[in-house]
C-alpha cells in the first residue's frame, strides 16, 4: 500500500485506555477479517517507528551449511558478510524432517518434554547478534557490524531479523533434518520479549510462546504504569529504556508519556494472529506486572476472537515457582499448543 504517514511523538494524541487494535491510522475501524492483514502491517509500522526500530528487509543472500549438529548461517548484504551458528538438537522420537522450536537464547519450556513429542530444538544465539549487557550495549553485535552501529533497531528487532535469517537458512539447507514449515519460537524473560517480536514480525513462525516476558513482552505499558502508581514494584516504560538497549533509542521519548503510544502490547501480540500464540506468565514475579499482563492478554484475545479463531490464542498465569521454571500444571497447555501447531 501507500507509505504510512506517522506522526511525531509530540503530535500524537494521549489515549488513556488501551487503544482499539481495530482502529486504523486513518480513523476508520476495520470490520472484516480480510482487513486484518492491512491493519497488522500498520501496527508493525508503528511499532518499528516508535518502539523497536526498523527490521531490514531480506538481504541479498543467505547460505546454509550443516556441520554435524550445527547450522552455519551466512548472510551477505551491502558488501558485508555475517555468520552465526545455531545448534540443532534432534528428538529421540518421530522422523525427519522434524518440526522445531527456536529457542531465543535457549528454551525454558521443558526441553525433555519437547524431545518426547518429537520436536527438535534450535538454539538461536541472540546475544551474538545484538548485545544486551546493559545501557552501554547499543549498536554492539553482529547485526550492527552489518548494518552500522547507528541503525535504528534495538536489540529485540535485531534478534527478530536474525531469526528470520535462520528461517531463510532452514528453508533451503541441503539435507536439512528440520521441517521449515513447522516452526515455533520461545524465550523467557528478556528473551521472551524477543520471542514475541520475532513471532510478530515473521509469519513463517507457526507458534510463538513468550514466557514471563513482562514489560515489552506480554505486559501493557499503560497498565504497568497504573500498577506502579498504586505502589507496586512493576517495570515501567520510563525504567526499562534506561536499563538496556532492547528498544529503539527514540522509545525513550515515551518515558513520561506512555499514553501517547498509539498502540500497546496487546496489539503487538495481535500481530501474531491468526497464527498460534501462547503467553505464559508468573504471578509470583511482581516486577513482570501480573495485572498488566492479564489485562493485555484479555485485550489481545479480542483480535483472535474477531477472526473466529479464539482457540489459537492462549494465556496462562500461575505463581509459586521460580522465574523461568515451567510448573508441571502449565506443561499440558504448552504440550497441547505444540501438538496443535507443530505436529
Q: Which of 137, 176, 189, 215 is catalytic?
A: 189
CA torsion through residues 178, 180, 181, 183, sign: positive
CA–CA gap between residue 115 and residue 111 (Å, rounded): 6
Q: Is the peptide bond before 97 cis (omega within 30 degrees of 0)?
A: yes
Provide mean pLDDT across the span 260-268.
98
Strands ordered across the beta sheet of 70-77: 61-67, 70-77, 80-89, 120-124, 98-104, 178-188, 205-211, 276-281, 313-317
- Our answer to whether residue 189 is catalytic in this structure is yes
Q: Is the peptide bond before 61 cis (omega within 30 degrees of 0)?
A: no
CA–CA gap between residue 174 and residue 318 (Å, rounded): 42
Q: Are the C-beta atoms of 192 and 210 separated by less than 8 Å?
A: yes
| pLDDT per residue as tens digits for the range 61-105 | 999 999 999 999 999 999 999 999 999 999 989 999 999 999 999
- pLDDT classification of 202: cutoffs 50, 70, 90: very high
Q: Which of 152, 238, 257, 323 is catalytic?
A: 323
Contacts of 11 (CB under 8 A, 6+ apart): none
Please choose, from the candidates 12, 30, 7, the residue with its C-alpha nearest in 3D space to the C-alpha of residue 20. 30
Provide mean pLDDT across the span 248-274.
97
Task: Please classify residue 93 by burial: count the beta carbons closer than 10 Å to its beta carbon, then call 0-12 exposed, 13-18 middle and 19+ buried.
Answer: exposed
Provide mean pLDDT across the span 54-60.
97
| pLDDT per residue as tens digits for the range 149-190 | 999 999 999 999 999 999 999 999 988 999 999 999 999 999
Other beta carbons within 10 angstroms of residue 136's beta carbon come to 10
Please choose, from the candidates 259, 187, 261, the residue with its C-alpha nearest in 3D space to the C-alpha of residue 229. 259
Which pLDDT value is given to residue 5? Answer: 83
- Our answer to whether residue 323 is catalytic in this structure is yes
Is 0.95 surpassed by the pTM of this model?
A: yes
pLDDT of 11 > 60? The answer is yes
Q: Which of the 8 DSSP states describes residue 48?
A: I
CA–CA gap between residue 237 and residue 229 (Å, rounded): 13
Please choose, from the candidates 120, 241, 271, 107, the residue with its C-alpha nearest in 3D space to the C-alpha of residue 183. 120
CA–CA gap between residue 105 and residue 205 (Å, rounded): 17
| Helices within 48-154 (DSSP H only) | 111-116, 126-129, 142-147
CA–CA gap between residue 99 and residue 313 (Å, rounded): 20
Contacts of 17 (CB under 8 A, 6+ apart): 222
Contacts of 79 (CB under 8 A, 6+ apart): none
Please choose, from the candidates 73, 68, 125, the residue with its C-alpha nearest in 3D space to the C-alpha of residue 102. 125
Write down the residue that cell numbers 503487538 correspond to: 268
Average pLDDT across the chain, whole number: 96
Backbone angles phi, psi at 177, to 5 degrees: -85, 0
Q: Are strands 61-67 and 70-77 parallel, antiparallel or unpaired?
A: antiparallel
Q: Are strands 80-89 and 70-77 parallel, antiparallel or unpaired?
A: antiparallel
Q: Which DSSP string corresponds to 274-306? A: TSEEEEEE-TT-GGG-HHHHHHHHHHHHHHHHH
Amino acid at each position: 500500500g501507500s507509505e504510512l504517514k506517522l506522526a511525531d511523538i509530540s503530535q500524537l494524541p494521549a489515549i488513556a485506555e488501551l487503544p482499539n487494535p481495530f482502529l486504523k491510522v486513518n480513523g476508520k475501524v476495520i470490520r472484516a477479517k480480510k482487513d486484518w492483514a492491512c491493519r497488522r502491517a500498520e501496527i508493525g509500522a508503528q511499532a518499528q517507528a516508535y518502539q523497536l526500530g526498523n527490521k531490514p528487509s531480506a538481504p541479498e543472500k543467505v547460505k546454509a551449511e550443516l556441520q554435524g549438529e550445527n547450522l552455519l548461517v551466512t548472510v551477505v548484504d551491502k558488501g558485508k558478510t555475517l555468520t552465526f551458528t545455531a545448534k540443532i538438537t534432534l528428538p529421540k522420537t518421530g522422523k525427519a524432517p522434524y518440526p522445531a522450536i527456536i529457542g531465543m537464547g535457549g528454551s525454558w519450556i521443558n526441553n525433555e518434554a519437547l524431545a518426547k513429542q518429537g520436536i527438535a530444538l534450535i538454539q538461536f544465539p541472540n546475544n551474538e547478534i545484538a548485545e544486551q549487557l546493559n545501557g552501554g550495549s547499543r549498536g554492539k553485535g553482529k547485526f550492527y557490524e552489518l548494518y552500522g552501529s547507528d541503525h535504528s533497531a534495538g536489540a529485540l528487532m535485531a534478534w527478530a531479523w536474525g531469526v528470520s535469517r535462520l528461517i531463510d537458512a532452514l528453508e533451503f539447507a541441503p539435507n536439512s533434518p528440520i521441517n521449515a514449515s513447522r516452526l515455533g519460537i520461545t524465550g523467557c524473560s528478556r528473551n521472551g520479549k524477543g520471542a514475541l517480536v520475532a513471532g510478530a514480525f515473521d509469519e513463517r513462525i507457526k507458534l510463538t510462546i513468550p514466557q514471563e516476558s513482562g514489560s515489552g513482552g506480554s505486559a501493557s505499558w499503560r497498565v504497568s504504569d497504573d500498577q506502579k502508581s498504586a505502589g507496586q514494584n512493576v517495570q515501567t516504560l520510563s525504567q526499562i529504556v534506561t536499563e538496556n538497549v532492547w528498544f529503539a533509542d527514540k522509545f525513550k521519548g515515551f518515558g513520561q508519556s506512555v499514553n501517547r503510544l498509539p498502540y500497546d502490547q496487546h496489539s503487538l501480540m495481535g500481530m501474531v494472529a491468526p497464527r498460534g500464540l501462547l503467553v505464559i506468565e508468573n504471578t509470583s514475579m511482581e516486577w513482570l506486572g501480573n495485572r498488566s499482563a492479564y489485562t493485555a492478554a484479555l485485550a489481545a484475545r479480542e483480535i483472535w476472537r474477531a477472526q473466529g479463531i479464539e482457540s489459537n490464542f492462549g494465556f496462562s498465569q500461575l505463581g509459586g515457582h521460580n522465574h523461568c521454571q515451567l510448573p508441571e500444571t502449565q506443561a499440558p497447555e504448552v504440550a497441547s499448543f505444540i501438538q496443535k501447531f507443530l505436529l
